[in-house]
A and B are shown apart, each in its own frame.
Chain A
């Protein structure tokens, strides 16, 4: 079983739609959680951290469920520019290492 699992997609949605991705992690020692965004053939970039209480950044909402060991990313009012691959990332307690999921691809169409 992979340490971090994501549905690869693609998720095809029209502009303006709301879309949500989930990511599950297997190691309960995972401490911190993040979402990175990667455009096609480009480098990944940090999108947002995920806090235990859930957090919002504009149209993006991230949530963490430690009991079920998953995190989610909700995108409201999708834009064409949101088309990208979204990488779920976890960091283990006491370690600097980041573990990346394989990503979920989102395609937003006009």
Chain B
């Protein structure tokens, strides 16, 4: 089954404790992206990657890191989480030729206290 998976689905952590949210897709997609979704603000892009070893900042990259060492994986790293990073996070992937049709993972609900 074609899918995007994220782990963990739910995470409660404390300020400053480094964490990683994993994202993996099995569709051989070149393009992958991370979004956060907050009430009243909609989906905002954090980082994206056009292919292996190619990443770029989205609209709200501060406080986040990403890497793309393999085509299927695109982890999101919070080196020192803060309460304002409490949010619902989505990973998405698409073919490079049809980036308008993005396949989203199920989401990770992160709470930073």
Q: Which residues of A are in contact with B by a Cβ distance under 8 Å?
A: 4, 32, 34, 41-46, 49, 87, 89, 91, 96-98, 100-103
CB pair A102–B42 under 8 Å, yes or no, is yes
Closest 5 CB pairs of A and B: A43-B104, A102-B42, A100-B43, A96-B99, A100-B42
Q: Are B100 and A102 in contact (CB under 8 A)?
A: no
Q: Nearest-CB distance from A92 to chain B (Å)?
A: 11
Chain B nearest CB: distance from A25 CB in Å? 13
The total of Cβ contacts below 8 Å across the A-B interface reads 47
Contact indicator B40/A98 (Cβ below 8 Å): no
In this complex, how many residues of chain B approach chain A with their Cβ under 8 Å: the count is 22
In whole angstroms, what is the CA distance A42 to B106 when docked?
A: 6
Q: Which residues of B contact A100 (CB under 8 A)?
A: 35, 42-44
Assess whether B40 is in contact with A102, with CB atoms less than 8 Å apart.
yes
